[in-house]
Amino acid sequence: MHQIISTIKERSFFIIVLLFLLNLSCEQNQQTKLKQQEPKRTQNRFNADLEKVNNFDDLAKHLNDYKSVWKSMGINWDYINDVALSFSRWEKSGKLKNISSTHILAIINDLPTQGDLRGIVFDLWKEYQGKTMTK
């Protein structure tokens, strides 16, 4: 009888340890899945927020909000952030309309194509030109 009770205790302990390890493994798998889904969610928000950029202030804000994403694309974030902030200041002060198209296009051509950054800045500049020409 003593041997039966001892065997039951050993098996019970083994079962408890096994359940604990199984539970721990399930928690780690769930955390791994959440980490794998996070970049997709971030990328979706990144793209949705990028579509909402309507002016150079919006672009500067987007660059700051998604600094790590932009840097992960391999761009020189400091340079593009400086460009966005400069265009924003020039836009607010009205100096943007006084800068020659040649200089603006030279700046835009130096921008990276990743994330369609060059196209976004060009489109914002063209839109600004249309606003200043109608005034």
pLDDT digits (tens, 9 = 90+) for 8-54: 667 676 677 667 777 767 666 555 544 554 556 667 788 888 888 99
Under 8 Å between Cβ of 75 and 112: yes
**Average of pLDDT values for 113-133?**
84
Measured over the CA atoms of residue 89, residue 91, residue 92 and residue 98, the dihedral's sign is positive
Cα–Cα distance, 21 to 26 (Å, whole number): 9
Two tokens, residue 38: 């996070």
pLDDT digits (tens, 9 = 90+) for 62-111: 999 989 888 888 888 899 999 999 999 998 998 888 888 899 899 989 88
| Residue 4 binned pLDDT confidence (cut-offs 50, 70, 90) | low
Measured over the CA atoms of residue 107, residue 84, residue 131 and residue 48, the dihedral's sign is positive
